[in-house]
Chains A and B, each alone.
Chain A
Amino acid sequence: MANSTSELKFTKSHEWLAANNNTVTVGISQHAQGLLGDIVFVDLPSINDTIAKGDEIAVLESVKTAADVYAPVSGTIVEVNTNLESQPELINQAPEDGGWIFRIEISDTAELTTLMSFDQYQQTISEE
């Protein structure tokens, strides 16, 4: 499943989202994985967890630091990337593709409009 970066939506906290009808796939951006360094552990959410936009739902631990992954939209966790348990480095190697983290069945499609395009996200990170 290859995600074209131009089709992704982004948050200020460096998550990306790929929408497929009512299900969205979420991961962290190329920029974010570079800031974190080599990731060694991923603490994934549980399937069927109900989550609200902005909740901290996963934790990434790198040698350098720990970082929270926030829910870009509200809904229910329907899938998690279990490959990350044995290969956390997938997030560094393919952050916007094989390094996806979890999938949400969204409860409010209107929330999708609050997200940024790739160009808008690039703009915010260049201002950092």
Chain B
Amino acid sequence: MKQTVLHSQHLSLHAKMVDFSGYSMPLQYQSQMQEHLAVRNNAGIFDVSHMKVLSITGNDTIKFIRYLVANDIAKLPPGKAMYTCMLNHNGGIIDDLIIYYFNNRHINLIVNAACADKDIKWMTTTAESFDVTINIQATQSILAVQGPNAISLASKILPEEYSHVLNTLKPFETSLYNTDFIARTGYTGECGFEIVVQPATAIQIWEQAIQEGITPCGLAARDTLRVEAGLNLYGQDMDDTTSPLISNLKWTVSLDDTDRDFIGKQAILKEIECGVKFKLTGVSMTTPGMLRNNQQITFQDGTTGTITSGSFSPILKHAVGMARVPIKAPEHGQVMQRKQSTEIKLSPLPFIKKRKTVAI
């Protein structure tokens, strides 16, 4: 199993380590519920160095990205980060990723650990007809600091040049320093930032963060946080057989520029023309119990849906999840809970309201 540079820090904090896509990663330190609430109430820090950082450089950088992914980088000025899906020719999602647009000859991407090899192979093949170079940034660490106090605590934990820029970065903006970069992005629904730095800097930031009372958070809390925030998990809520249109990600597909061709465009247009049949939506169960992945939902009209991510909201204190259901599914349905039929309710995502920075 591979290790991140913060491996010994995780062990010294008594993290329970698990194998995640071939990396030894912290699942939780003390209690995933406490970690989750710390992110909602103060700030938490995550080591997400298992994810892969790629750089795209060259004359055709913009042209290549505009063809490669379903969202359109040309909508944005440099200095912006953009969330998008990368589709196959059937409109299915190969991976979801964030693009960091530095300038028209340099873009970075962060992709899911589980999909990295697949993504790189796909991108490399596609890049053959473009004047671009794809580089894998093998040595970098990725940290996420998230929570209402994340931005105000940044000046205490980051080296001066980064904390200085963080005061002016707006949500979904990014800034590059040599090979390091920082962005106002995250996977929790809170304010915060993600920073990609060399290992020595990562260790420094991590240790300073712990000293400042920022809670170390593992993958378990990361998962309950992202479900509350209505954010998809690739491989669970969507995969290469599902299009963004049935994954609550229609907003990430840009069809505005009719002259732009991108991989999967024809399939997407066809799906819209034939009528989108499903939707990915939120599901809640307010009676005691948990919702679980792959549980079936039955509706009164005889149709069924499937829970893609079953989870629990420490904020709402009941089971929540995401489900793929027929597009016209009624609001109420039933799931089986230990041989008893129990009511669930569908609702648009997210489960919690958009979060703001706490005023200092």
Q: A residues bordering B, Cβ < 8 Å? A: 34, 37-38, 40-41, 43, 59, 61-64, 66, 89, 92
Contact = CB atoms under 8 A, between A and B. Distances in A.
A63 B16 contact: no
Interface string B308-323: 0001100000000000
Main secondary structure of the interface of B (DSSP, over half): mixed
Contacts of B312: 40, 63
Contact of A37 (B220, B289, B311): B220
Given A40-B290, A43-B338, A61-B290, 5 more contacts: A38-B31, A41-B288, A41-B289, A63-B290, A64-B220
A10 to B, nearest CB: 22
Interface string B84-100: 00000000000000000
B33 interface: yes
Contacts of B175: none
A34 B288 contact: no
Contacts of A89: 31, 33
Interface string B266-307: 000000000000000000000011100000000000000000
B220 A63 contact: yes
A61 B289 contact: yes
B32 A63 contact: yes
B130 to A, nearest CB: 44
Interface in B10-43: 16, 27-28, 31-33
Contact of B31 (A41, A61, A66, A92): A92
Contacts of A66: 290
Interface residues of B, number: 15
B319 to A, nearest CB: 8
B224 interface: yes
A61 B311 CA distance: 11
A64 B220 CA distance: 9
Nearest to A66: B290
A61 B220 CA distance: 15
A40 B288 CA distance: 9
A63 B16 CA distance: 15
B273 to A, nearest CB: 41
Contacts of A61: 289-290
Contacts of A40: 33, 290, 312
Interface in B212-248: 220, 223-224
A125 to B, nearest CB: 16
A38 B33 contact: yes
Given A63-B220, A63-B224, A37 B28 contact: yes
B276 to A, nearest CB: 31
Q: By CB atoms of chain B within 10 A, which of A37, A38, A43 has the most?
A: A38
A92 B34 CA distance: 12
A89 B317 CA distance: 13
Contacts of A62: 290
B338 A59 contact: yes
A58 to B, nearest CB: 12
